[in-house]
Amino acid sequence: MDKKELINCGKVKSVYNSTNDDEVIIEFRDDMTAGDGERKEVMNNKGAYNAIISSKIFKVLEENGIETQFIDLPEPNVMIAKKLEMIPIEVIVRNIATGSLIRKYPIADGKRLNPPIVQMDYKDDEYHDPMLNDSIIKALGIATQEEIDILTEKALKINEVLTAFLKDAGIILVDFKVEFGKDKDGNILLGDEISPDGCRLWDSQTLDMLDKELFRKGKDSEVMDAYIEVYNRIIPDDEKVI
């Protein structure tokens, strides 16, 4: 694997060009951030745990007919992926009301949402990821109505597959954020990552948090144990590389 130039340095991942023009190399760093990057800490091996968890989830989604950018995981924290032109929309699916939803709307914390809520936020730290609607998305010129419908359909399918997969591991998928991009033929694929950084995951028995919400709440010392718990539950022993 031959890293070329850095093409994007995000808050927790660095994306490099590959010698293959259709591919990129994504390095998952050990950084953890909250509050649009205002708070930042380094967590030992966090990048590797997230890359492995994300790769596993992307493979499960592929097996269920959802195309992703995943190609390979040559090192525990390095993913080879199809090059995508990312759409700056965070597609959020909510099965249980919590987080920003209950801060903004009169909905009880913990209420089951059936059907799930699909929400789209504009991915822009400067504007603090404001919530979008179809008209705003079109006014910003970031997606057409047809593309919005594809994003919604794909996010709901991901929710279905992931909810069932995590249920088998004793985990409730409360809500999550996904990002999509277009490949060189214009196909919309799932990109970025699905990891405890961008999901709310609760233990099915105890309802304990197993995700980045612990960090957001200042419980820094508990975060890595939670990520390792998710890793241990969803990665079979013969696939464990750390």
Residues in touch with ligand 5GP (CB under 6 A): 90, 92, 99-101, 129, 175-177, 197-200, 212
* Cα→Cα distances 181→53, 89, 101, 107, Å: 20, 9, 25, 32
Q: Give the shortest CB-195-to-ligand 5GP separation in angstroms.
A: 8
Nearer to ligand 5GP, 13 or 82 (CB): 13
List 202's β-bridge partners, or say none.
172, 209
Query: Residue holding tokens 């490949």?
Result: 183
Q: Nearer to ligand 5GP by C-beta: 15 or 101?
A: 101
Nearest to ligand 5GP by Cβ — which residue? 99
Of residues 68 and 195, the one with the C-beta less far from ligand 5GP? 195
Q: Please say whether the beta carbons of 93 and 117 come within 8 A.
A: yes
Least distance from ligand 5GP to the Cβ atom of residue 8, Å: 15
Cα torsion 7, 228, 88, 99 to 10°: value is -150
Q: How many CB atoms lie within 10 A of CB 102?
A: 14
Q: CB of residue 123 vs ligand 5GP: minimum separation in angstroms?
A: 7
Cβ 130 to ligand 5GP shortest distance, Å: 11
In terms of CB distance, is 148 or 194 closer to ligand 5GP?
Answer: 194
Question: Phi/psi zone of residue 37: left (φ > 0), alpha (ψ -120 to 50 degrees), beta?
Answer: left
- Could you count the other beta carbons within 10 Å of the beta carbon of residue 191? 24
- The C-alpha atoms of residue 7 and residue 154 are separated, in whole angstroms, by 27
Nearer to ligand 5GP, 16 or 176 (CB): 176
Minimum distance from residue 148 beta carbon to ligand 5GP (Å): 18
